[in-house]
Amino acid sequence: MIEERENPLNREIIEKDSLPRLDLIEEKDFDSTRLSERRLQEWSACVLQEMGDKTRWIQSLESGIIRRDRRIEKLEIRTRELEEKLESTTNDYRKRLAQLQYELIGIRTSKAWKLAKLFERFSIIVSWSKLLYWTATGKLATKLREEKIYTELANSGLFDPEYYLMMNPDVAAAGADPLKHYIDNYLQGRNPNQCFDTLSYLQSHPDIDINPLLHYYRVQNPRGEK
């Protein structure tokens, strides 16, 4: 058997085929590098955007803090102004109070004050004297009833004293109490206000035996009568 001799040319071809191709390796490395650079650029862009967002957020917080500090400063200034104004007003009131107290002392030590107090005591004595007189003469019940009618009509708001004095110049000239004059003289046809006709009301209610204005008030306000 004849052994085949190994051809040196064939061995060189086989060895070349088994070696890796350098051009393919370099191309793969280049693609990997480009991919890494693209990812790095994307990551850098994200980081820069996040940093920009945080920077704007910090700037917004700083602006808010500055505005808050300015408001606090204005409030502190306003508070100091109010405190100074309050202190000044308090001092003025204290001075005025001291002045009034001094004037009051002067009034109480004056002759006019002593005369007024004497007149007050005299009025009380006269009032008690009238009360005793009415009791002795049997007129106490009548006077108390008149006083009740006067008070009730005065509180009713139906009697207009200005109108009554304008329509009855004789009462104004005499300086009489208009309400008391009306109570005593309503049968003369005098009207307590411009809307109430005394004689017409008496004609419409012939059975009443009290002041017509008082009767009208009690009918309109039944709870007001005690």
Q: Average of pLDDT values for 101-112?
A: 70
Question: Which three-class secondary structure state does DSSP give residue 160?
Answer: coil
Dihedral angle, C-alpha 217, 155, 180, 149, nearest 10 °:
60
pLDDT (0 to 100) of residue 11: 54
Distances (CA, A) of 93 to 103, 104, 110, 156, 159: 15, 16, 25, 40, 41
Inter-axis angle of helices 212-220 and 140-156, nearest 10: 60
The closest alpha carbon to 212, from 195, 193, 194, 187, belongs to 187
- Domain locations in the chain? 138-224
pTM (predicted TM-score): 0.41
Least confident stretch, 94-98, 105-109, 191-195:
105-109
Structure confidence by residue, pLDDT tens digits, 1-48: 444 455 555 555 555 555 455 444 455 555 566 667 777 788 888 888
DSSP 8-state class, residue 196: B
Q: Which of 184, 180, 190, 188 is nearest to 153 (CA)?
A: 180
pLDDT tens-digit profile of 172-191? Answer: 898 889 999 999 999 899 99
The reported pLDDT for the residue numbered 120 is 63
Tell me the pLDDT band of 104, cut-offs 50, 70 and 90.
confident
User: What integer is the mean pLDDT of 106-120?
Assistant: 63
Mean pLDDT for the stretch of residues 156-170: 92
Question: Residue 167 in contact with residue 190, Cβ under 8 Å?
Answer: yes
Helices and strands (H, E) in the chain, number of each type: 9, 0
Q: Closest Cα to residue 150, out of 187, 192, 190, 189?
A: 192
Question: What is the end-to-end Cα distance of the chain in Å, rounded?
Answer: 159
13 against 110, higher pLDDT: 110
The answer to whether residues 201 and 212 touch, using CB atoms and an 8 Å cutoff, is: yes
pLDDT band at 146 (very low <50, low <70, confident <90, very high): confident
